[in-house]
């Protein structure tokens, strides 16, 4: 599949939808989304839709990936430092993040998806990307503190472990159930005096679960 033309068309749509961060747009142009979905779905890879990746999980819509990455990078033209991703899934967002950060740790609780992501990413030689198998609700203390944390699953609240592992000056972007009993995108900024939460638009992500399987 010669995906460059359709991938660039996808990015033009993202720009029309309001995504403007140059590094995010460049990463979305670079990473070939069709490599992360089943071959039967490859012709839908550059549509703005989520697609099944097995084990009841999905690959997020390109607009959602770009939006969350842009929130992480907001206000900075420099590369992010060390980033923790909760929920590797098929590995697509991890690949995008690898172009935006100096180092990425991505953790997945489902062994089948962890293995699939490793296979999907094998040929890309992204030396700054580390795939981990484990319980994402616990974060990854060994790599902390993180300049940014991003999650691809939403729970009733942001786990305390994630906030503890976020560096002062760092930012966390994750879906969470808010007071309206709806899932919304939540931004947490950690300052020297505490944390500041900002609730953004409604979203629909798979539920955040503990343990491994």
Query: For residues 131 and 114, what is the distance between their CA atoms, to the nearest angstrom?
Result: 8
Q: How far apart are the first and last CA of the chain?
A: 33
Alpha helices in 74-105 (DSSP H): 92-98
Torsion angle of C-alpha atoms 27, 60, 57, 87, degrees rounded to 10: 50
- Active-site residue among 3, 39, 60, 98? 60
DSSP state of 43: G
Contact call for residues 131 and 90 (beta carbons, < 8 A): no
User: Has 60 been annotated as catalytic?
Assistant: yes
Map residue 112 onto helix, strand or coil: helix
Buried b (16+ CB within 10 A) or exposed e, 37-55: beeebbeebbeeebbebee
Instruction: Supply 154's token pair.
Output: 């939403």
Contact call for residues 146 and 178 (beta carbons, < 8 A): no
Catalytic residue ranges: 60
């Amino acid at each position: 599949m010669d995906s460059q033309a359709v991938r660039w068309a996808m990015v033009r749509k993202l720009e029309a939808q309001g995504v403007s961060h140059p590094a995010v747009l460049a990463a979305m142009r670079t990473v070939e989304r069709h490599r992360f979905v089943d071959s039967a779905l490859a012709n839908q890879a550059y549509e703005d839709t989520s697609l099944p990746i097995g084990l009841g999980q999905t690959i997020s819509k390109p607009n959602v990936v770009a939006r969350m990455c842009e929130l992480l990078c907001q206000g900075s033209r420099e590369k992010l430092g060390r980033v923790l991703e909760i929920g590797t899934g098929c590995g697509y967002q991890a690949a995008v993040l690898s172009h935006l950060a100096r180092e990425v740790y991505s953790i997945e609780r489902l062994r089948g998806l962890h293995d699939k992501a490793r296979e999907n990413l094998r040929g890309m030689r992204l030396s700054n990307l580390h795939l981990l198998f484990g319980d994402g609700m616990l974060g990854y203390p060994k790599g902390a503190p993180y300049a940014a944390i991003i999650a691809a699953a939403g729970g009733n609240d942001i786990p305390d472990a994630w906030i503890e592992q976020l560096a002062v000056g760092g930012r966390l972007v994750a879906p969470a159930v808010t007071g309206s009993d709806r899932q919304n995108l939540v931004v947490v900024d950690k300052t020297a005096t505490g944390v500041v939460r900002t609730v953004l638009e409604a979203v629909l992500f798979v539920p955040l679960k503990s343990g491994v399987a």
